Amino acid sequence: MSDAYERERQNNALLESLSQKTNALKSVTIDIYDNAQNQETIDSTSEVFSSLSTNLRGSAGRLTRAEGRVIKWQF
């Protein structure tokens, strides 16, 4: 009977260890997912700023050209 008790105690200890490892793996998986979501947000924001920069550059170029025409026209 004590042999069965000892096996049950060992099984419980192994089960607890497996449970802790499973929880750690779950936590790491959630962290990886959150990091991937954050990276997608960063990439999206980067694309928006890149587009904004391109648009501003184009607008500045058009303003410069328009200003040049206005100045030439005034003289």
Number of domains into which the chain is organized: 1
Tens place of pLDDT for every residue, the chain, 75 residues?
689 999 999 999 999 999 999 999 999 999 999 999 998 988 888 999 899 888 888 888 888 888 777 655 555
Alpha-carbon gap, residue 51 to 69, rounded angstroms: 27
pLDDT at 32: 93
Alpha-carbon gap, residue 14 to 18, rounded angstroms: 6
pTM score, two decimals? 0.55
Q: Which residue range is the domain that position 4 belongs to?
A: 1-73
pLDDT at 6: 95
Alpha-carbon gap, residue 70 to 75, rounded angstroms: 9
Q: Which residue has the tokens 């025409």?
A: 69
Token pair, residue 18, equals: 């497996």
pLDDT at 67: 74
